[in-house]
Structures are given as C-alpha cells and as structure tokens.
Structure 1
Amino acid sequence: MLASGSFQTTGALVGGISQPSFSAFLPKVLDAIIRLTPRHICFHNTLQKQQETKQGFYAISGFPHVLGAIDCTHVRLMPPAATEHLYRNRKHTHSINVQAIVDHQGLITNIVAKYPGSVHDSFIFRHCTINEHFQDGSYGNGLLVGKYKNLLIYSLHSNPPGHTTHTPQQQHVNRNTLRS
C-alpha cells in the first residue's frame, strides 16, 4: 500500500477513514513501527535463542547448525524522480531489494530494506551486519541457508578465515545444502 502513488487514498478507503485523517495518523503509525522493530526483529541475541533455532531447523530439515533461512525479494514502489534509474530492477520495474532472514518458525529475525532494486542480492549480503558477525565468528558454527546465484552462503563446511578451498566431499554437501 505504501508503494503506490496514491497510498494515502487507498489506505483511507481500506481503513474507512478520510485521506486527511489517514495522512495525520500515518507518521505516528510509522514511528511506532520503527520504535518497536528492534524489540521484535532481532537475530539471535542470546545463545539460548541460537540453540533453539538450530534445534528447530534440524527437526524440520535434518541440517545441523542452521540459524536462519535467507533470501531477497523486490518490493515495488514509486521511485524518487532524481534517482529513478537506481530503482529499476532486472525485470524493468521499480523496487527496493529487501533481504530477510527467518527462523525455523518463519518469523523474521533480520531485515535489510535500504537498497534500490538495481542492487544485486549478493551485494546486500556482503554489506550487511549479519555477514560481518558471521565473518568475525560471533555465531560460532552457525549457518544460513538460502538459494542465491553467485553467492556462497555460510555452508555446512566453512573454512577458517584465509582458507578458501573445500574438499570434494565438502563441495558436494555445500551444493546439496543450497539446493534444498
């Protein structure tokens, strides 16, 4: 609804209020969402939550150490006129490219929604704080599973920093993990 050029009129019609009333309440609603987001969307801030998530994914898929499932999606919008070209995605529509990570219950635990549609999924992952935390070992043997083209997500057999080679067996497991 916020992505349409007439979102206030649409929202007012759906909510059964006038557009001016909708316009007056919208900033308060958005401020509340922004204020509450850190409390409700947080990526495994305790060891207990990490363990619970790993057990949940293992029960569902048989994959050990999984802390989340990751993917990106395009959310259509009306782009700013001055930077319209940045928001044009590969399907020639305007969007932002949103990366989300969910836990074993399908609850969003992390979201990155700041890049225009022309930005590739792998760029978003490489530049997000979750990636930094995986790189510095904050999540121990934890993994993310996802299906990205041209991006190796932390797989079942990750190497220590500075090592980039995998045995044939590790490569086989990595391919199968990303396929499922």
Structure 2
Amino acid sequence: MAKGDFYSETGDVHGVSRSSVCRIIHNVVTSINKRLHNIRFPRTNEDILHTKVMFQRSCGLPNCLGAVDGTLVPIIAPKQNEEAFVSRKGCHALNVQAVADADMRFTDVVCRWPGASHDAMVFDNCALKEHLEATNIGHLLGDSGYPLKPFLMTPYLHPGSPAEERFNKAHKRGRVVVERSFGVLKARFRCLSKSGGCLPFAPEKSANIILCCFKLHNLCLERGLPLPDISSDNDDSQTPGEFIHECGRGGIQRRNELTQLFSR
C-alpha cells in the first residue's frame, strides 16, 4: 500500500505467489479495519471544544468542527455499472469524502460512492450531515461545490466587501487542512494515488483498502511519524463543478454572522 507495487513484483521480492500476496493483503487489511477504531468525529463536549479551539487558532473562524472535501481514488473498471465510476477526470474511481481536523487527522470517512458522484450529493446522503443538522453543535468548512447550510460554511463566490474577502481568506486557511491531509495520505500510501496506478479490485475491496489507509494515516500521526513530502501528483481531488444549490436563510444568516467578525 505504501508503494502501489504490482502483486507480482511484491511476490517476487518476498518469494511468494501473486495469489498469496492478494490473499495476505486483504486478510491484513480486514484485520486492521476490525481492530483499529481511530476515525472518530468529536462527540463529547471536551473533544468538540478542543476541535473548535484548534480551528479558531489556525484560521480565526469560531465554532468549526472540521473541513470536508472529496478526493478521487483510481480503481480498475468494475464489471457492473462501469459508467457510474467514470470520474470528472476521465478515470474509473471512487469518490471518497473525508473530514479533517486542524491537526490533519481524519474524523469522518465515506468511501462507497462511485467516481461520477458529486461531492454535494455524497455529503447530502451521509450520516454526519444528519447528525450536524439535528444537533446544531457547529459547522464544517467546504468549498463552493457544497451547499451553504447552517452546519456547512462555504466561501462567497463573489465577495462584495472587505469583510467578505477577509472571511474568504480565513475560510481558505481553515479548509486547506483537508487538502493537505489528502496530500499526506496519498504520499504515504501510493496505492491511493494516480502515481501508483489504480487499485486492481472491485469497488467493495477497494473501499476496504482505502479505509485501512485512512486509519493508518491517523495512527502515523498519533505515533509522531515524520510527514512525507507532498508532491503535485497527489492532487486527485474533485473540483467544484457546475452545481445549483438551494441556500436556505439559516446558512446565509450564519455566514453573515461570521462575516461580521471580519468587519473591523
């Protein structure tokens, strides 16, 4: 997973067959996913407060619980519903949604949607959206590909005042953490990056490997392992496309309240 090597190459290095490599990798990945539970969205008052404080220190925006974005992980063309997995970039992929905190730890991951799915649709159908909507405990930061909601702050597309421009700059400082987290993840686990080719598995097995890499990323941060160099070829993120959102009054009002903090 770190190199994205072909199974035959890995098998030759260790003196085992290609089929053994395949079986061993999936056994280990399944075992890690069953035993390692370190992708946790803040739920306790202490964790929520800590997350908000760290984000406010980094970007100046209060009440923020994370930054959300989607990234593409290339996979081999599946045998069923092949066209649904063709992403905006023309490759077969899974569109993986993740939330990162200010320390680049992933606190929520959804890796079951085909590459043609839009980021906004993925978020609209995730359990985290329902949780934030029901509890009103804070908001996430997302790019302009997401709808503006009381629990999901997006930037102004056409800022019309200095305060709105300053809000956008603060928003960008906060949201960039999820992009950096994706970069570190794919630099550490090349099997998720286009530089490593693609995952040669069905979507279900690919999702299992992707989730394992996210968990190991968090484990590396917890153990203090050095961060890898992030190169430009790790940019497999979705780009905000043409998408019409209905912005309710609640989202507009919440963003206006935050913008007032930058009016002076």
Q: Shorter-chain TM-score: what band?
A: 0.7 to 0.9
User: Contact 2:97–2:122 at 8 Å: present in 1 too?
Assistant: yes
Distance 1:151 1:16, change over 3 A: farther
Deviation of 1:98 (Å): 0.3
Alignment pair present for 1:34 and 2:38: no
Question: How does the TM-score come out when normalised to structure 2?
Answer: 0.54
User: Contact 1:71–1:148 at 8 Å: present in 2 too?
Assistant: no
In 1, distance between residues paired with 2:34 and 2:15?
25
User: Contact 2:119–2:146 at 8 Å: present in 1 too?
Assistant: no
Structure 1 stretches (4+) deviating beyond 3 angstroms?
10-13, 166-169
Q: Counterpart of 1:81 in 2: which secondary structure?
A: coil
Q: Which residue number corresponds to residue 248 of structure 2?
A: 164
Deviation per residue, 1:15-54 (Å, 9 max, x gap):
64522432331232121222134x2101113221111110
User: Contact 1:100–1:108 at 8 Å: present in 2 too?
Assistant: yes
Aligned residues: 163
Deviation of 1:172 (Å): 8.3
Distance 1:84 1:168, change over 3 A: closer
User: Contact 1:95–1:116 at 8 Å: present in 2 too?
Assistant: yes
More strand by share: 1
Deviation per residue, 1:128-167 (Å, 9 max, x gap):
0100001111x52x110121325225239xxxxxx93235
Q: Which residue number corresponds to residue 58 of structure 1?
A: 56
Question: Mind listing any 5+ residue stretches in structure 2 that lack a counterpart?
Answer: 155-246
Question: Mind listing any 5+ residue stretches in structure 1 that lack a counterpart?
Answer: 157-162
Distance 1:173 1:68, change over 3 A: same
More helix by share: 2
Deviation of 1:109 (Å): 0.6
Q: Counterpart of 1:27 in 2: which secondary structure?
A: helix
Distance 1:87 1:105, change over 3 A: same
Question: How does the TM-score come out when normalised to structure 1?
Answer: 0.78
Higher relative contact order (CA 8 A, sep 6+): 2
Distance 1:27 1:167, change over 3 A: closer
